Amino acid sequence: MNENSAFWTAAREQLNELCVKVGLDRTPDLPSPGIAISAPAGTTLWSSSYALVLLWPCRGGDYVSVEQAAAQGQAWFDEVLVRKERSSPGGLIDGYLVLALPQAPEEDAREKIRRLELSSQVCRKHMIWPSTPADHSHEPGLWQRVADITVLGLPEASAPLISELAWPELDSEAQALWTELSTLGVNGTVLLHERAPNARN
């Protein structure tokens, strides 16, 4: 594994950008869960009142490395989650363990890795890795699958937020129906259209 924490900077920055959007703040100092597992260089934690996201660097893209990282990260994270839940008045906290692989997983390991991701024991697990020219969505410095992390993968707003409610534009047919509903009520409008389905008064 690359022990230089600078290797994980791009992954951390891309995660941080999405975490900020959903109200998760980066924890400046990692907690000490009091177990005999040391967090690897590059480990980063984000926290809010409802969730924790943990970036945990992984040694390699083979299944053994991923499985070991998942087991260690999950054990470390479990202690952190338990302590957080004990100190939170709301109780349960969702946990998201993000395993950062130094390269794409090996082809023969992908099915087993997928099963690891589907396991919700202790926390939800996601795998990310640096983009390569072989990736369909390749961009230098981009980490693959960051936006797939459940708590972070929210769509961008399609319209600007406004402070006042806006009434939708209605065509003439919709406006006529709305007028009928406003004056006759639902039952009256239904009766009117049952008598004359093609007519409008």
Q: What is the count of structural domains for the chain?
A: 2
Q: Is residue 157 assigned to a domain?
A: no
Per-position DSSP letters for 135-173, written without gaps between them: STT--TTPEETGGGSTTT-PPPPSS---SS--PPP--HH
DSSP state string for 1-64: ----GGGGHHHHHHHHHHHHHTT-EE-SS----SSS-PPPTT-EEEE-SSEEEEEEE-S-SSHH
At position 39, the amino acid (one-letter code) is A
Write out the residue range of the structural domain in which residue 131 sits.
Answer: 5-148
> Is this model's pTM higher than 0.85 or not?
no
Query: Has residue 160 been placed in a domain?
Result: no
Asked whether 70 and 117 are in contact (CB, 8 A), the reply is no
Q: Does any domain span residue 54?
A: yes
pLDDT of residue 141: 75
Q: Indicate whether 41 belongs to any domain.
A: yes
The answer to whether position 14 is within a domain reads yes
CA-CA-CA-CA torsion sign (187, 188, 189, 194): positive
Residue 172 shares a structural domain with residue 99: no
pLDDT of the residue at 155: 47
Grouped pLDDT means (10 residues each) for the chain, 201 residues: 65 92 92 87 92 93 90 93 83 89 86 84 87 74 85 57 60 82 79 66 49
- Confidence at residue 75, expressed as pLDDT on a 0 to 100 scale: 94
pLDDT of residue 159: 43
